Structure 1
């Protein structure tokens, strides 16, 4: 979906690749960020305004035009790492943490502004209809779950669903 961020950045070696996002596991899509690039976008979002983890997830989804939604398992460890690095601070806000950029984080962001701008520009690029495919796959998944586990679910219905899905797989594989 996104062919970018295979860029080797000089801070990658210092801070490591602390978040991976690969498709297949929970249907969230292809790997979106490489070499710790998500850290730069998250820091940029926090620099815009203090944010909770959930707000960061939603902002990343919006930035990608709905084509990518990071999991909490990618965002919250990243926020912890950024706290450890001194790039953000966190204050209690009810049962949530509000993350704010620190002067060290601002300096890091300024030092890497060109890289951040490249990432943001690529996030804004149209996804050439792939978001529509994601939506269709999510709708198919919801329909399958509804019919397989909802009222009237049976072994016979499950067999019918499997047959429909197998035909769809075969049809897609036959495309040129």
Structure 2
């Protein structure tokens, strides 16, 4: 699959098998995330890779609570990659968003499904989020949650693409 094909065929998946993601594939996806463009090359984002089921489930419950639901907002995905970025860098939200894109596109290239799940900002403003980052030696006050990239094998067919809207692109020639 070439880059343009990957970009045109990746879809957000919302049903996952419990099967583990091979470590080699996960390492490649994480590496792709580290090569996302960042403002002035400052590399403000960090990626927290969660494969521990207990931690994943605690984070899922916290995310669901913020959302006001009692379902799994991670749709059963066995891997959650949390992207955060340094608040003191003016481009941190954009930088983290580009990391999210790289993670999802790399996953697709490797035959894995993914989806961007929101509410990372709110999670890491709470004491539970602070505690999780503290276990990694990070000060949560320095970071803003950008998003969760959930990964795994799709449980069923990937969704069909929605038609592109007609007024997506405007040209000035």
| TM-score interval, smaller chain | 0.3 to 0.5
TM-score by length of 2: 0.33
Structure showing the higher helix proportion among its residues: 1
TM-score by length of 1: 0.33
RCO (CA 8 Å, sep 6+): is it higher in 1 or 2?
A: 2
Structure showing the higher strand proportion among its residues: 2
